[in-house]
Amino acid sequence: MALVTVLVGSGCAQGHGAVPAAALEATPPAAVVTPDAAVVGTESGPVRGVVEADHRLFAGIPFAAPPVGPLRWQPPRAPAPWTEVRDATRPGPACIQDLTGAGREDCLTLNVWTPVRRAAQRRPVLVWIHGGGFINGHGDIYGARRLAARGDIVVVTLNYRLGALGFLAHPALGPHGRVGNYGLLDQQAALRWVRDNISHFGGDPAKVTIAGESAGAMSVCDHLVAPASAGLFRSAIIQSGPCHAQVDIDTGERISETFAADLGCGGPDGDPQDIARCLRALPADRLATSPWYVHIDTHSLTGPVTGTAVLPVDPVDGFAAGRGARVPVLVGSNHDEFTMFAALTYRRTGATLTAAEYPAALARTMGDDAAAVRAQYPPARHGGSVSLAFSAAVGDHVFACVANRMAEALAAHPPPVYAYEFADPHPPAPQGLAGIPFPLGASHALEVGYLFDIAGLPAPSPAQRRLADQMIDYWTRFVITGDPNGPGQPRWPAFTDRTGGARWMSLRPDGSRVITDFAADHQCGFWDALAARER
């Protein structure tokens, strides 16, 4: 089957990333904060943030040196220290965004959100990795006030290099297997910064959970098998991550060579030193695009490369081989993931997918399996809508059944796995998607607004606000204990029990509940059979 990805990682042997029992126990009391709660010392120098009624925010803190000039396409370096109190009241610039060129190359900063009140012990920490297909997005999109205040945890959001600046794998930039993945290296540098600095903000470096959505979730998957990420976190949250969508190093190098040649920086037979100098001398806006695209219709992905020192294996393959970090994992997807991308296509073209176009659309995304997929997903089963049939097929293949496969593989080893499906049929969606001629449903990324304050979303209903509070409680309880369950909540069982039954928590505004038909609803048996036929 053709590799199918969308916008939106050899691990060590058994025990990679294992959680010491002591890490789940109480830690020593936090150090006394300074008299001025807005000023915190870090290993690089003091910072001044803002203090509000229910939270503190320290924004735009450098966790690495600017990756510019000779540091472009190099692993991140430590930031230069400072002695005066540094302003941390405003976020740093976004990294260069795909196509638009917005943002800056000097962008490796993070934001720290904490509750305002003191605590007797250091608080657990959530490190959030943003989505955006590895070509767009930044940490400042995600307002974490509610997560920090209601959940009584510390939250860190971060930037990492994107597109060509983050993932170009040209062989002129280094030895084979040691190029590309600079954005993942940035994330690891941010995790090391958390390890070394978060106690100054009242956080516990031994109780870090990594989490992300879409490309951020793919990053989390990568860290679960990346050797250098071992020991930097004790649990993980994977939200809507098509984690099988990785590019191997040989493909990445080949396409990166073409990309560089198109920019006037030599061909495959050019002198490597000349090519590297040429690439590093280019204006950043010339690089505001992706070195490779793997297409779903008109939607594309660029990102990590496998078979490298940073990411030796594809994470889903690594999970199946038992090479994932032995940490508690919370993993899930949204019921109607791909309708978001169909809606974006409609907003751009003004047209929905027609019956005549359906075979070609499936052929572009499913390759030789298109006819079988078309028979399995006829528009008649989706109210006659070709767009909904296509969205269901791609969503099940890329998101739901990948999540199911990951949950099964990870649950084969302790600690436990907790699986969810976000299933609000009418979640608040961006105003720009109003007027779409088919229902969005619980589409891609819409669950994020239940956890974070996201600008531009309509106000939720009272029932949706209650669901948001419930999700924050589940998520933060998982961060605190490695188990989402707490008082006053519907019981969320682990993915499998001794009988082997698969159980998912369906998150809904009319009452969250445990379901056992997730795989059947998304036709995962069909997709697993297609995958097995190709192996």
Query: Domains plus CATH for the chain?
Result: 43-352+392-521 (3.40.50.1820)
Which DSSP string do the residues of 457-497 spell out, in sequence order?
PPPPPHHHHHHHHHHHHHHHHHHHHSS---TTS-----SB-
| Cα–Cα nearest to 222, from 290, 108, 313, 138 | 313
* pLDDT tens-place string over residues 414-442: 999 999 999 999 999 998 898 999 999 99
Catalytic residue among 444, 447, 506, 522: 444
* pLDDT tens-place string over residues 449-487: 999 999 999 999 999 999 999 999 999 999 999 999 999
* pLDDT tens-place string over residues 54-82: 999 999 999 999 999 999 999 999 999 99
Residues 6 or more apart whose Cβ sits within 8 Å of residue 134: 162, 163, 166, 167, 183, 215, 218, 290, 301, 302, 303, 304
Mean pLDDT, all residues of the chain:
90
Q: Given this model, what pLDDT does residue 296 score?
A: 32
* pLDDT tens-place string over residues 496-526: 865 668 999 999 999 999 999 999 999 999 9
| Mean pLDDT value across residues 14-42 | 52
444 catalytic? Reply is yes
Report residue 397: phi and psi, to 5°.
-70, -45
Catalytic residue among 337, 408, 421, 447: 337
214 catalytic? Reply is yes
Query: H or E segment at 329?
Result: strand 329-334
522 catalytic? Reply is no
Catalytic residue among 16, 105, 170, 214: 214
| Mean pLDDT value across residues 113-140 | 95
Single pTM value for the model: 0.92
Q: Given this model, what pLDDT does residue 323 score?
A: 94
